[in-house]
Amino acid sequence: MIRIFLFSILFVQVLFGYNYNSLLLKADATIFPKIMLMDKKIKNKLIDNKIIYTIVYDQCDYETAIHVKEYIENTFQKYMDRYPYKVDLAEFSHLSLATKASAFYVLKSSTENIKKAANIARQKGIISFSYDINNLKYDLLFSLVIENSTILYLNKEYLHTNNIDFVDSLLSMVRFIGKKSI
Amino acid sequence: MQKRKFESLSFKIISSIILTSVVIIIGIFLSFETINKKAFYNVELQKAKLIVKTIEPLVAIDIYLGMQNKMESIVKELIKNKDILSVKILKNDKLIYEVKSKNKYKSLFIITYNILQPNSKKKIGTIVLDYSNHNYEQLIYKYTKLLVIMLVILFIISALLSIYIKNILRPLRRIARLLQDFSPEKKLKIKLMKEDNEISLILSALNEMQEKIFDFASKQKDINAYLEKEVDSKTVELRKQLFIDDLTQLPNRKKLFNAIASSENDRALLILNIDDFKEINDFYGQSVGDYILIEFAKELQHFLKDEKNIMLSRLSGDEFALFFQHKPSEKSFMRVINSLTKEIEKMVFEYEQNEIFIRVTIGATLDSNEMLEKADIALKLAKEHKKYFLLYDKKFDVKRQYKENMEWVQKIKSAIKEDRIVPYFQPIFDAITQKPVSYECLIRLIDTDGSVISPYKFLTIAQKSKLYPQLTQIMLEKSCQYFQDRDTTFSVNLSINDILDVDMVTYIQKCIKKHNVSNKIVFEILETEGIDNYVEVSSFILSMKKLGCKISIDDFGSGYSNFEHILKLDIDYIKIDGSLIKNLETDINAQIVVETIVDFAKKLNLITIAEFVHNQAVFEKVKLLDIERVQGFYLGEPNRDI
Domains of chain A: 2-181 (3.40.50.2300)
Report how far residue B292's alpha carbon sits from residue B289's, in angstroms, rounded to the nearest whole number.
Answer: 5
For residue A139, the tally of other CB atoms under 10 A from its CB is: 20
Put simply, the answer to whether B65 touches A31 (Cβ < 8 Å) is yes
Structure confidence by residue, pLDDT tens digits, B387-437: 889 998 877 766 667 777 888 899 999 999 999 999 999 999 999 999 999
**Are both B9-147 and B253-396 of the same fold?**
no
Q: Does B60 touch chain A (CB under 8 A)?
A: yes
Report, as an integer, the average pLDDT of A99-128: 93
CB B129 within 8 A of CB B48: yes
The answer to whether A81 contacts B65, with C-beta atoms less than 8 Å apart, is no
Helical segments of chain A, H only: 2-14, 22-37, 62-75, 111-124, 168-173
Q: Taking the CB of residue B72, how many other CB atoms lie within 10 A of it? A: 17
Does A42 touch chain B if contact means CB atoms closer than 8 Å?
yes
Inter-chain CB proximity A81 and B117 less than 8 Å: yes
Contacts of B430 (CB under 8 A, 6+ apart): B436, B437, B628, B629
| Interface contact A171, partner B, CB < 8 A | no
What's the confidence (pLDDT) of residue B158?
Answer: 80
Contact (CB<8Å) A150/B67: yes
Predicted local distance difference test score (pLDDT) of residue A5: 47
The CATH architecture annotation of domain B9-147 reads 2-Layer Sandwich (3.30)
Minimal-distance CA residue of chain B relative to A168: B57
Question: How far A116 CA sits from the closest chain B CA (Å)?
Answer: 29
Nearest residue of chain A to residue B71 (CA atoms): A173
- Count Cβ atoms below 10 Å from residue B548 Cβ, excluding itself: 12
Q: Closest partner residue to B118 among A31, A82, A169, by Cβ? A: A169
- Are the CB atoms for B442 and B638 separated by under 8 Å? yes
C-alpha to C-alpha distance for B504 and B483, rounded to whole angstroms: 20
Q: What is the pLDDT of residue A14?
A: 46
Residue B320: strand, helix, or coil = strand
Long-range (24+ apart) CB contacts under 8 A made by B421-425 are B421/B445, B421/B446, B421/B471, B421/B474, B421/B475, B422/B446, B422/B478, B422/B640, B423/B475, B423/B478, B423/B479, B423/B482, B424/B452, B424/B638, B424/B639, B424/B640, B425/B482, B425/B490, B425/B638, B425/B639, B425/B640, B425/B641, B425/B642
Separation of alpha carbons B32 and B186, rounded Å: 62
CA distance, residue A77 to nearest chain B CA (Å): 16
Q: Do A152 and B65 touch (CB under 8 A)?
A: yes
A-chain residue closest to B55, CA distance: A169
Contact status, residue A31 vs residue B64, Cβ threshold 8 Å: no
The β-bridge partners of B311 are B323
Is A19 within 8 Å of A58 (Cβ atoms)? no
Mutation target to probe the A interface, by most A beta carbons within 10 A, among B67, B69, B121 is: B67
pTM of the model: 0.41
| Topology at the third CATH level for domain B405-630 | TIM Barrel (3.20.20)
Interface test with A, best of B64, B75, B116, B120 (most A CBs within 10 A): B64
Residues of A in contact with B118 (CB under 8 A): 37-38, 167, 169-170
Chain A with chain B: Cβ pairs closer than 8 A:
48
SS3 A80: strand
Average pLDDT over residues A97-123: 94
Find the CB nearest A40 among B60, B66, B119: B119
Half-sphere exposure of A175 (CA within 13 A, CB side): 14
Residues 6+ away with beta carbon under 8 Å from A113: A58, A92, A95
pLDDT of residue B582: 87
Set of chain A residues whose Cβ sits within 8 Å of the Cβ of B57: 167-169, 172
* The predicted structure's pLDDT at residue B604: 85
CB environment B467-488: b (16+ within 10 A), e (fewer)? bbbebbbbbbebbbebbeeeee
Q: Which of B109, B93, B91, B100 is nearest to B42 (CA)?
A: B109
**Cα A92 to chain center, whole Å?**
14
The whole-angstrom separation of Cα B62 and Cα B74 is 10
**Are B65 and B119 in contact, with CB atoms under 8 Å apart?**
no
pLDDT of residue A54: 96
Q: Which helix (H) or strand (E) holds B513?
A: helix B502-514
Distances (CA, A) of B305 to A14, B109, B213, B478: 182, 128, 58, 63
Burial B147-169 (b: 16+ CB within 10 A, else e): eeeebeebeeebeeebeebbeeb
Residues of A in contact with B65 (CB under 8 A): 30-31, 34-35, 152
Cβ–Cβ below 8 Å for A37 and B120: yes
Kindly indicate the confidence band of residue A1, based on its pLDDT and cuts at 50, 70 and 90: very low
CA B633 to chain centre: 53
Closest partner residue to B119 among A30, A167, A172, by Cβ?
A167
Q: Which residue has the higher pLDDT, B399 or A173?
A: A173
Chain A residues whose beta carbon lies within 8 Å of the beta carbon of residue B70? 149-150, 173
Give the C-alpha separation, A179 to A155, whole Å. Answer: 8
Q: Which residue has the higher pLDDT, A161 or A132?
A: A132
Distance CA B352, CA B330 (A): 41
ipTM above 0.95, yes or no: no
Measured between CB atoms, does A119 come within 8 Å of chain B? Answer: no
| A59 reaches B (C-beta below 8 A) | no
Q: Which residues, in sequence order, are bridge partners of residue B551? A: B523
Query: For residue B437, what pLDDT is reported?
Result: 95
**Nearest-5° angle of CA B340, CA B346, CA B347?**
90
First to last CA, chain A: 38
Q: How far is B48 from chain A (nearest CA, A)?
A: 19
Our CA-based measurement puts residue B129 at a distance from the nearest CA of chain A, in whole angstroms, of: 20
Task: Break chain B into its structural domains and give their ranges.
Answer: 9-147, 253-396, 405-630
- Give the best residue of A169, A172, A174, A175 to mutate against chain B (max B CB count within 10 A): A169
Task: Report, as ranges of residue numbers, the positions in chain B whose pLDDT lies below 50.
Answer: 1-2
N-term to C-term CA, chain B: 79
* B253-396 belongs to CATH 3.30.70.270: yes
Q: Do A149 and B67 touch (CB under 8 A)?
A: yes
- Say whether residue A149 is in contact with chain B using an 8 A CB cutoff: yes
Nearest to B302 by CA among B273, B340, B251, B276: B340
CB proximity A127 to B under 8 Å = no
Nearest CB to B70; choose among A40, A42, A149: A149
Q: Across the interface, which of B58, B66, B118 has its CB nearest the CB of A38?
A: B118
